[in-house]
């Protein structure tokens, strides 16, 4: 038989009038009768929990509301009046006197409900009961609710179903009520019974509040996690109304993109219609994309050009409760486009090089023969007009030979000898060579050379060829009435001391400039804006190839009517046993 059955056979006292004094008298009589077997109130043996800031106040606020409702239901048995307080103490003493029996019977009943093959944690249940009794004696002792709240947030109750917790406390209530019926009778028994029922129900209602609170906290954390993952995503993301196509919300990347686009930065983003955010010629494509998403639930548009950037667009129709919205994600693929363009240019360069090499070889030999024949005719020719014609032929042959030489250099550039060179000296020598050319008669050349420039490690002949080409290009861009060409050098330290830095050279003119649509093509072979017969369009292509072979970079900035700047960066030369170079670096 269960221990609880033995509790039923205790003698029951007679009924008496219920007053606070009668409860106290009954308590003293009962206590004297079992003085030898009753111990001090049981204390929990586990580690006490330290309440978090504001936790006690939050628990007290919840408890006050529940106590008020229970007092309305149970009257004087649970209103913190004298009768209620005496009954609470009586119930706590009664359970404390049979503490071990109550814990064992409670655990056994729950195990039967759950059909657990593994025994429940009796010490844990004893600690829980001890804290419950402490609150039963003193309603201001809230430690039991601190434990329950913490367990609902992150402990056992956070992983359990509410029904499992209720079964635990229904079983506890039945065990304690059986004990009350066995030990008390009459009106005293009824009030103590009501106290026990109200206390257990209070505990269950508090845990229900804790469950709701913990789920709200978890929901807020989940929403914040989702919101942050969207807001901090690297790709621009938009939430769009599928009917009106209005932008409902965006993430930080979308706002950043909006502010970077020159034609949109002054327009509000939220509330704008999606078609109004794209150029007019792209609006049909946007409408088609949206229609696809509405019909199929998702869609994508690849390599869409938008204000100089290229994007892959992925959209989906999202359902959230009773509402729907379009989620649109833009993935910037401009870098991929640049790589593909570079690959295409490399293929063009390879094809042009093969073609140039074949043409040069096929044309150069017969051209040399023609040149020799013409030169042999010149000394014997006495007619002035015919002699002038022969010289014209020779000059044109020379121009063709120079073009063929450029073709050969472009197709098979000769390997240069890399060594330390003083770039300032190379620039000075180059400018001295061009000073006597008639194209520079009305042009002022301004060299601004860093006095302590670090040597570079490059092919000197190749660098001089680049400088000559760029200076002549600058002269060609300047108007006949004159202009200025400025050549500057400076040393650039590596960021955060990483590496040895680079030497930067700028060649700037105040000529006609290059239109924006041609700026991206200036390094393409055979591309030129000069009149027919003036150039083959290989100069900048050769310059780029030479600079890249010297592990450098070259770029062009230009504005129509304001001039052009070509910037070259080359690696420096440095050895530890060169004190002068080391000093210049410092």
- Give the Cα-Cα-Cα angle 256, 261, 264 (nearest 5 degrees): 100
Cα separations in angstroms, 69 against 72, 80, 83, 201, 375: 5, 13, 18, 11, 121
Distance CA(300)–CA(199), nearest Å, equals: 61
pLDDT tens for residues 151-172? 887 766 656 677 777 888 899 9
463 within 8 A of 426, measured Cβ to Cβ: yes
> Which DSSP state fits 273?
B
Distance CA(585)–CA(501), nearest Å, equals: 9
Q: Say what the pLDDT of residue 37 is.
A: 43
User: Which has more confidence, 103 or 395?
Assistant: 103
pLDDT tens for residues 417-461? 788 889 999 998 888 878 777 778 788 889 999 988 889 888 888
Burial status of residue 463 (CB atoms within 10 A of its CB: 0-12, 13-18, 19 or more): buried
User: Which has more confidence, 157 or 241?
Assistant: 241
Q: Say what the pLDDT of residue 180 is.
A: 93
State pTM to two decimals: 0.50
Distance CA(426)–CA(432), nearest Å, equals: 10
pLDDT tens for residues 128-152? 999 999 999 999 999 999 988 888 8
> Residue 556's closest CA among 528, 580, 521, 581?
521
Q: Say what the pLDDT of residue 469 is.
A: 86
Q: Say what the pLDDT of residue 349 is.
A: 63
Out of 38-42, 211-215, 223-227, 311-315, least confident range: 38-42
Distance CA(337)–CA(343), nearest Å, equals: 10
What string of DSSP letters covers 290-334? Answer: HHHHHHHSEEEEEEEEETTEEEEEEEEEEEETTEEEEEEEEEE-H
156 within 8 A of 168, measured Cβ to Cβ: no
Distance CA(126)–CA(132), nearest Å, equals: 10
Question: What tokens does 310 get?
Answer: 């290229």
Mean pLDDT of 233-256: 88
Task: Band the pLDDT of 576: cuts 50, 70, 90.
Answer: very low
pLDDT tens for residues 177-216? 999 999 998 888 999 999 999 999 999 999 888 888 888 8
Distance CA(465)–CA(443), nearest Å, equals: 20
Give the CA count within 13 Å in the CB-facing half-sphere of 378: 14
101 has pLDDT over 90: yes
pLDDT tens for residues 497-541? 555 678 999 999 988 888 888 887 788 776 776 665 555 566 787
415 has pLDDT over 80: no
User: Which has more confidence, 406 or 505?
Assistant: 505
């Amino acid at each position: 038989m269960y221990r609880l059955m033995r509790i039923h056979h205790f003698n029951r006292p007679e009924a008496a009038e219920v007053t606070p004094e009668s409860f106290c008298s009954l308590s003293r009589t009962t206590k004297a009768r079992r003085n030898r077997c009753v111990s001090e109130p049981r204390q929990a043996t586990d580690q006490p929990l330290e309440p978090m800031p504001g936790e006690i106040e939050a628990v007290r606020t919840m408890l006050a509301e529940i106590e008020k409702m229970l007092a309305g239901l149970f009257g004087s048995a649970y209103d913190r009046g004298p009768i209620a307080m005496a009954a609470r103490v009586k119930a706590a003493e009664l359970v404390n006197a049979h503490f071990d029996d109550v814990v064992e019977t409670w655990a056994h009943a729950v195990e039967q409900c759950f059909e657990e093959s593994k025994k429940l944690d009796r010490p844990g249940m004893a600690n829980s009961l001890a804290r419950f009794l402490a609150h039963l004696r003193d309603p201001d002792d809230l430690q039991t609710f601190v434990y329950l709240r913490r367990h609902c947030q992150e402990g056992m109750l956070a992983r359990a179903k509410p029904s499992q917790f209720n079964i635990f406390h229904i079983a506890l209530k039945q065990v304690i009520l059986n004990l009350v019926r066995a030990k008390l009778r009459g009106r005293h028994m009824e009030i103590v019974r009501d106290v026990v029922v109200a206390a257990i129900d209070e505990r269950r209602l508090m845990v229900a509040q804790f469950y709701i609170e913990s789920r709200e906290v978890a929901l807020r954390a989940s929403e914040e996690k989702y919101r942050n993952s969207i807001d901090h995503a690297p790709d621009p993301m938009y939430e769009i109304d599928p009917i009106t196509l209005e932008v409902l919300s965006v993430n930080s990347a979308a706002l950043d993109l909006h502010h970077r686009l020159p034609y949109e930065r002054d327009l509000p983003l939220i509330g704008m219609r999606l078609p109004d955010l794209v150029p007019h010629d792209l609006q049909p494509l946007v409408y088609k994309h949206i229609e696809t998403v509405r019909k199929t639930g998702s869609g994508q548009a690849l390599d869409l050009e938008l204000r100089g950037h290229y994007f892959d667009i992925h959209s989906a129709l999202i359902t959230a409760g009773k509402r729907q919205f379009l989620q649109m994600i833009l993935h910037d693929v401009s870098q991929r486009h640049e790589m593909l363009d570079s690959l295409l240019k490399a293929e063009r360069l390879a094809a042009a090089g093969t073609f140039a090499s074949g043409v040069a070889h096929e044309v150069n030999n017969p051209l040399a023969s023609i040149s020799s024949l013409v030169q042999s005719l010149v000394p014997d020719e006495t007619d002035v007009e015919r002699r002038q014609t022969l010289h014209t032929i020779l000059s044109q042959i020379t121009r063709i030979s120079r073009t063929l030489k450029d073709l050969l250099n472009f197709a098979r550039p000769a390997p240069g000898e890399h060594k330390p060179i003083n770039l300032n000296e190379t620039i000075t020598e180059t400018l001295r060579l061009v000073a006597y050319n008639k194209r520079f008669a009305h042009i002022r050349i301004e060299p601004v050379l860093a006095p302590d420039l670090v040597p570079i490690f490059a092919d000197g002949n190749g660098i001089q060829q680049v400088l000559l080409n760029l200076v002549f290009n600058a002269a060609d861009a300047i108007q006949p009435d004159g202009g200025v060409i400025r050549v500057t050098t400076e040393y650039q330290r590596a960021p955060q001391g990483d590496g040895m830095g680079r030497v930067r050279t700028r060649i700037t003119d105040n000529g006609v400039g290059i239109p924006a649509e041609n700026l991206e093509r200036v390094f393409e072979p055979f591309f030129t804006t000069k009149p027919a017969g003036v150039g083959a369009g290989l100069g900048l292509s050769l310059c780029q190839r030479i600079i890249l072979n010297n592990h450098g970079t070259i770029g062009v900035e230009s504005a129509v009517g304001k001039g052009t700047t070509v910037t070259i960066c080359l690696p420096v030369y440095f050895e530890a046993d060169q004190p002068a170079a080391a000093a210049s670096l410092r």
